[in-house]
């Protein structure tokens, strides 16, 4: 974990542009209710994660990701609420729980959080159009919420290594993938991010990852349950 001179407080990223989708099926309502319970109970006694099956996922009409926070032993399921592009390369997706805990990704890389208890306000990541995960090594820049509503900037230098074919199985379904590992140094610490990227031509999808999301939140594990 990176050591910071300023204490990191709650995230305050404002994410807008959501719209109400079609009426949810009963299976979707059950998943969303379980998500809400995950984040409303006390951190000291996190509930066990929902037991997912491929049959349950196949009944859904929208995309889901699973997010686990390692240092809290907490797991929740998020739906995609927004997909957009901006002036930087890559596609931005915002994933939310029913009670507005959110995670923003650019080409599968974490660029912001809200409601996770650690303020990752934004991140500049090495994205490229048509490339899932990091496109190259190089610089990363994190903007973190600091004490007194301030902002701390952490700059890191990263190298990227392709660790070769490494298929992943997610809730009863196997995906061909390559394992990319990003090692970043700066601010007196080291961050190691891992990505399992679809290895088929034209399939720009991160199926699974383990990424750093700020000093307080630490590492999050993300799995793409349903596209």
pLDDT of residue 79: 96
What letter would DSSP give residue 171? Answer: T
Residue ranges of the domains in the chain? 26-156+207-226
Q: What is the pLDDT of residue 46?
A: 59
Which neighbouring-strand residues pair with 209? 195, 222
Residue 5 has what pLDDT? 31
CA dihedral over 143, 144, 145, 146, signed as positive or negative: negative
β 74-84/177-186 pair status:
unpaired
The closest of 57, 34, 50, 201 to 132, measured between CA atoms, is 201
Residue 217 contacts residue 113 (beta carbons within 8 Å): yes
DSSP-derived 3-state class of residue 26 = helix
Alpha-carbon distance of 116 to 173, in angstroms, equals 29
What is the pTM for the complete model shown?
A: 0.78
* C-alpha to C-alpha distance for 53 and 50, rounded to whole angstroms: 10
DSSP-derived 3-state class of residue 57: helix
Task: For the chain, 227 residues long, give each residue's pLDDT as a single digit of tens.
Answer: 333 333 322 222 222 233 334 455 565 655 555 555 554 444 455 566 567 899 999 999 999 999 999 999 999 999 999 999 999 999 999 999 988 899 999 999 999 999 887 679 999 999 999 999 999 999 999 999 887 778 899 999 999 999 999 999 999 999 999 999 999 999 999 999 999 999 999 899 999 999 999 998 999 999 999 99
Q: What is the pLDDT of residue 42?
A: 43
The 8-class DSSP code of residue 24 comes to P
Residue 76: DSSP 8-state: E
Residue 45 is predicted with a pLDDT of 58
pLDDT of residue 87: 94
């Amino acid at each position: 974990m990176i050591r910071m001179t300023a204490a990191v407080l709650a995230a305050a990223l404002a994410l807008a542009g959501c719209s109400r989708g079609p009426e949810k099926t009963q299976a979707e309502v059950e998943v969303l209710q379980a998500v809400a319970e995950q984040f409303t109970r006390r951190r000291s006694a996190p509930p066990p994660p929902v037991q997912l099956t491929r049959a349950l996922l196949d009944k859904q009409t929208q995309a889901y990701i699973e997010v686990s926070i390692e240092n809290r032993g907490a797991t929740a399921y998020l739906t995609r609420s927004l997909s957009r592009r901006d002036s930087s390369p890559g596609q931005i997706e915002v994933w939310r729980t029913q009670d507005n805990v959110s995670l923003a990704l650019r080409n599968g890389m974490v660029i912001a959080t809200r409601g996770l208890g650690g303020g990752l306000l934004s991140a500049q990541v090495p994205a490229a159009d048509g490339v899932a995960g990091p496109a190259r090594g190089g610089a990363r820049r994190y903007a973190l919420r600091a004490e007194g509503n301030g902002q701390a900037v952490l700059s890191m230098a990263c190298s990227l290594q392709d660790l070769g074919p490494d298929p992943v199985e997610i809730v009863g379904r196997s995906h061909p993938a390559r394992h990319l590992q990003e090692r970043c140094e700066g601010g007196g610490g080291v961050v190691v991010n891992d990505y399992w990227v679809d290895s088929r031509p034209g399939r720009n999808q991160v199926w699974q990852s383990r990424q750093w999301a700020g000093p307080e939140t630490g590492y999050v594990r993300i799995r793409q349950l349903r596209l």
